[in-house]
């Protein structure tokens, strides 16, 4: 007896396990929903559905079919374009009741037909064609709403014909008048919030693009635009805001092809694949070309294009993930952030793809997969943008520091000889009438070699720094000061005649001779300056010639006893 029972038990267990693993919808009598006088809403109940493969059956033909029982919210994939739903209602009260039948996903359908049958007779028929505005009175913010009159103690059967463009899914709910209004209030608030966040990121990245001219900001902004359009379209926000239904809404599927194109272009730019990673670059380009062809084809036959969209999306996801993983292996600094965000997008988008194909159950996560994935990815990619901005700021700061080091004297922080020439060229290239007369003063520290030999180079450097400080204090904002050589300095004085230039040179010389410098042994040392002054010839605008003349005047000052400022005598 045990030998017979045990195998049977194993078989039953195996059958039970298979039924759990591969559930099969039961074909049975559709249960009746009892509606009482205190009815408010019914959002979870049993309906029946039948897929019309011929797409030509009439109501009389449909009534003879066996309906498969299911929940009131179900996805049936792309092979169930024409589906009939059967709902059985009974008013158990002694007063008439009006209920409202909602389908919040009606916007994605081509056609809805509602038949009310009592005792086998058709009592009312309504047709909701998404392409004909004159018969869209049962549409409100993308939701179909049909009022159903239930006389006392009456049974009524509803047959709803759903004709979808591509994928078939629906969610029928029943409400009284008050709950019907409540259900419509804020039905797109979550998607509106996501679109608002995407819009903020779009504006931010456009501003970054206009300020930096970096293409990745433009590609990322376009990616968010197309992604936002798809989220708004696929979740009924466009239908709710602008009453875009039927064939007029199909063109918005183009955003589904344009979105990954922008994402792959963004990847190519941030990872610099063209310069550094040729294999990954060609993989991205090949995928972009495939997406461009698919998007272009959808301009002429969007229905057919949608059939292959899932396969193309899968190829794009494999390529983008492979490239991101390759960047992680190559230890690219932003690759891990990108991979993390992209995995979110791919995972949640895959759930929604499976939902459209009827492979997963009807729930919020699966119906809003792309919206959730794109906002999570957008957050991660925003971190990448922030990282890039910080990196560029650091690079610019480093470049500015290097430029400063290249253009200034490290000891005095004054311009060096090369930068003096560049600044002078800029000055001389401006309108001569606004810059001339232009005077030049050359200054030299008296007996500087003796200071170095007697007190050392450290004190000599202190003397040079003191000269630079006096020059900064005494010169005007318009003057250009530079350390020209070891102990030589040059001042370029725009809009200054020789007489005024001589006065400025004298003030500098007299100020510096009063400066006292102490060495390590606390000995006080006084140092003087000699100055030569000349004027740039406005006819030739030759700065070097003017400096040479000032140098000659300086030579005369040195030989005339030092601590003097002299004009070039000619």
pLDDT of residue 158: 96
Angstrom distance (rounded) from CA 233 to CA 229: 6
pLDDT of residue 242: 73
C-alpha angle 221-203-249 in degrees, rounded to nearest 5? 60
pLDDT of residue 537: 87
The Cα diameter of the chain in Å comes to 135
pLDDT of residue 110: 85
pLDDT of residue 247: 65
Angstrom distance (rounded) from CA 523 to CA 479: 34
Burial (CB count within 10 angstroms: exposed 0-12, middle 13-18, buried 19+), residue 252:
middle
pLDDT of residue 2: 38
Residue whose entry in the numeric block shows the structure tokens 């819009």: 199
Q: What is the mean pLDDT of each run of 10 residues along the chain (570 residues)?
A: 41 45 54 93 94 92 93 90 95 94 89 93 92 77 91 95 89 94 84 89 88 86 89 79 69 76 92 92 94 84 74 88 93 88 89 87 88 87 78 74 75 89 82 76 93 88 92 92 92 92 93 86 86 90 91 93 89
Domains of the chain: 26-184 (2.60.40.2380), 191-400 (1.20.1070), 417-567 (3.30.70.270)
pLDDT of residue 326: 94
Which tokens in the block code for residue 252?
């918005």
Instruction: Supply the Cα-derived Rg of the chain in whole angstroms.
Output: 42
pLDDT of residue 11: 46
pLDDT of residue 21: 44
Instruction: Tell me the pLDDT tens digit for each residue of 529-550.
Output: 999 999 988 888 888 999 999 9
Neighbours of 213 (CB within 10 A): 9
The 3-state DSSP class for residue 89 equals strand
pLDDT of residue 433: 59
pLDDT of residue 85: 96
């Amino acid at each position: 007896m045990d030998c017979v029972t045990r195998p049977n038990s194993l078989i039953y267990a195996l059958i039970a396990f298979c039924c759990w693993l591969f559930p099969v919808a039961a074909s049975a009598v559709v249960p009746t929903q009892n509606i009482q006088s205190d009815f408010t809403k019914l959002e979870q109940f049993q309906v029946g559905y039948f897929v019309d493969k011929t797409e030509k059956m009439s109501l009389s033909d449909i009534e003879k079919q066996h309906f498969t029982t299911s929940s009131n919210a179900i996805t049936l994939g792309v092979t169930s374009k024409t589906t009939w739903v059967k709902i059985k209602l009974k008013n158990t009260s002694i007063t008439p009741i009006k209920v409202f039948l909602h389908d919040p996903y009606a916007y994605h359908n081509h056609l809805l037909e509602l038949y009310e049958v009592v005792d086998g007779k058709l009592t009312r028929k309504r047709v909701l064609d998404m392409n004909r505005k004159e018969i869209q009175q049962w549409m409100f913010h993308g939701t179909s709403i049909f009022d159903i009159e239930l006389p006392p103690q009456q049974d009524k059967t509803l047959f709803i014909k759903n004709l979808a463009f591509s994928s078939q899914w629906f969610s029928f709910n029943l409400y009284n008048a008050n709950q019907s209004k409540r259900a419509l209030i804020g039905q797109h608030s979550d998607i509106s919030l996501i679109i608002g966040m995407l819009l903020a990121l779009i504006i931010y990245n456009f501003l970054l693009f206009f300020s930096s001219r970096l293409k990745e900001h433009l590609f990322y902004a376009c990616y968010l635009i197309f992604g936002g359009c798809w989220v708004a379209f696929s979740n009924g926000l466009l239908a709710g805001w602008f009453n875009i239904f039927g064939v007029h809404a199909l063109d918005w599927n183009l955003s589904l092809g344009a979105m990954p194109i922008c994402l792959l272009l963004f990847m190519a730019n941030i990872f610099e694949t063209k310069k550094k990673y040729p294999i990954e670059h060609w993989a991205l380009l090949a995928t972009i070309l495939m997406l461009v062809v698919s998007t272009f084809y959808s301009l002429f036959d969007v229905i057919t294009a949608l059939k292959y969209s899932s396969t193309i999306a899968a190829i794009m996801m494999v390529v983008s993930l492979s490239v991101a993983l390759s960047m992680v292996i190559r230890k690219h600094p932003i690759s891990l952030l990108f991979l993390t965000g992209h995995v979110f997008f791919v995972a949640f988008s895959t759930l929604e793809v499976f939902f459209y194909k009827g492979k997963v159950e009807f729930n919020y996560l699966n119906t809003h997969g792309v919206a959730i994935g794109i906002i999570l990815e957008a957050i991660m990619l925003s971190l990448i943008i922030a990282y890039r901005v910080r990196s560029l700021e650091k690079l610019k700061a480093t470049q500015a520091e290097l430029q400063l080091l290249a253009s200034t004297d490290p000891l005095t922080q004054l311009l060096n000889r090369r930068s003096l020439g560049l600044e002078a060229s800029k000055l001389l290239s401006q309108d001569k009438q606004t810059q001339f007369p232009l005077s030049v003063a050359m200054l030299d520290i008296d007996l500087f070699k003796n200071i170095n030999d007697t007190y050392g180079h450290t004190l000599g450097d202190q003397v040079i720094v003191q000269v630079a400080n006096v020059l900064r204090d005494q010169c005007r904002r318009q003057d250009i000061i530079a350390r020209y050589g070891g102990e030589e300095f040059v001042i370029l004085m725009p809009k200054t005649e020789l007489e005024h230039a001589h006065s400025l040179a004298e003030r500098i010389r007299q100020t510096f001779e009063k400066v006292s410098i102490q060495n390590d042994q606390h000995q006080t040392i006084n140092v003087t300056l000699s100055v030569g002054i000349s004027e740039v010839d406005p006819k030739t605008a030759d700065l070097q010639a003017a400096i040479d003349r000032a140098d000659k005047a300086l030579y005369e000052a040195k030989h005339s006893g030092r601590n003097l400022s002299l004009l070039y005598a000619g």
